[in-house]
């Protein structure tokens, strides 16, 4: 399979530029990445959480950003069907892998960036509101949060693009992407909370943190093999 790095990076950059030019997307991204962690950080500082609960709050803060960012970024799949911009893209000489990466990279990058900003803001507000609380955070909880966030971002993007390319209706695509993101984030949240509060989960926290990114990469690999331009063209012309 022929693959040009520049093709994927160019398409990913165009997707990000399109998202940045959409005022609604910018407002939602800023509101989610800034407003939610600031509010939750204030509540966490006021309630004087126990150390194990701090890890749970950081996990939910970052996973919320993955849900918002992936759902927002992948809505471009539905807009391509409505605006008819998908056909010219499929006629380009870029490989199937380049097309796939051009779709998933913006979602992954946006999800991770929003999660990083939200985590820093949450930690900053918590440190200012209650300086003695943040140093009590279990390092394994932070590791589980980071690995779970990255894994969720990759799975949402991979599964979302793979499933979205198989649907014809823009409404069906939008609904499917929302449900996929919600399902993936819920599973990652459940797994993360299990590693934080269950005795067996705490013993396996390091294993979970290591295997989660590998699971995300495996999901991307499988989704990339299922993303085929020829089948997508057939569905468009039915």
Encode pLDDT of 117-149 as tens digits. 999 999 999 888 888 777 777 888 889 999 999
pLDDT score for 3: 46
Angle, vertex CA 131, rays to CA 126 and CA 135, nearest 5: 90
pLDDT in tens, 14-47: 777 766 666 677 787 888 888 889 998 888 888 7
Identify the band that residue 79 occupies on the pLDDT scale cut at 50, 70 and 90: low
Residue in this structure with the two tokens 């407002």, named with its chain if needed: 27
Question: Locate tokens 């943190």: which residue?
Answer: 209
- Lowest-pLDDT range of 78-92, 127-141, 163-177, 192-206: 78-92
Q: How far apart are CA 66 and CA 60, in angstroms?
A: 10
Q: What is the pLDDT of residue 2?
A: 45
What are 198-230's pLDDT values in tens digits? 999 888 888 999 999 999 999 999 988 887 766
Residue of 236 and 51 predicted with greater confidence: 51
| Strand, coil or helix: 189 | helix
Domain extent at residue 29: 5-236
Please state the domain count of the chain. 1
Any idea what DSSP says for residue 3?
A: -
pLDDT score for 136 = 75
234, containing H or E segment: helix 229-236
pTM of the model: 0.86
**Best CA proximity match to 40, nearest among 111, 116, 118, 115:** 118
> Tens digits of per-residue pLDDT, 38-71?
998 888 888 777 767 888 889 999 999 999 888 8
Give the count of beta carbons closer than 10 Å to the beta carbon of residue 83.
10
- 139 φ, ψ to 5°? -55, -35
Residue 93: predicted pLDDT:
63
d(CA 29, CA 37): 12
């Amino acid at each position: 399979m022929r693959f040009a790095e520049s093709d994927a990076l160019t398409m990913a950059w165009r997707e990000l530029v399109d998202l940045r030019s959409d005022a609604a997307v910018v407002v939602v991204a800023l509101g989610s990445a800034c407003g939610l962690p600031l509010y939750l950080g204030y509540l966490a500082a006021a309630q004087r959480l126990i150390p194990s609960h701090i890890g749970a709050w950081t996990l939910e803060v970052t996973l919320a950003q993955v849900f918002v960012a992936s759902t927002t970024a992948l809505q471009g799949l539905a807009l391509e069907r409505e605006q008819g911009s998908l056909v010219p893209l499929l006629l380009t000489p870029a490989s199937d892998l380049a097309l796939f990466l051009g779709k998933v990279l913006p979602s992954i990058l946006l999800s991770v960036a929003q999660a990083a900003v939200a985590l820093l803001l949450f930690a900053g507000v918590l440190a200012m509101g209650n300086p003695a609380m943040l140093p009590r955070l279990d390092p394994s909880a932070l590791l589980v949060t980071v690995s779970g966030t990255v894994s969720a971002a990759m799975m949402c993007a991979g599964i979302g693009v793979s499933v979205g390319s198989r649907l014809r209706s823009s409404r069906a695509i939008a609904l499917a992407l929302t449900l996929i993101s919600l399902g993936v984030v819920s599973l990652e949240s459940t797994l993360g909370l299990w590693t934080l509060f269950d005795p067996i989960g705490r013993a396996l926290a390091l294993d979970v943190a290591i295997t989660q990114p590998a699971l995300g990469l495996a999901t991307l690999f499988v989704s990339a093999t299922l993303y085929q331009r020829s089948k997508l063209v057939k569905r468009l012309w039915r």
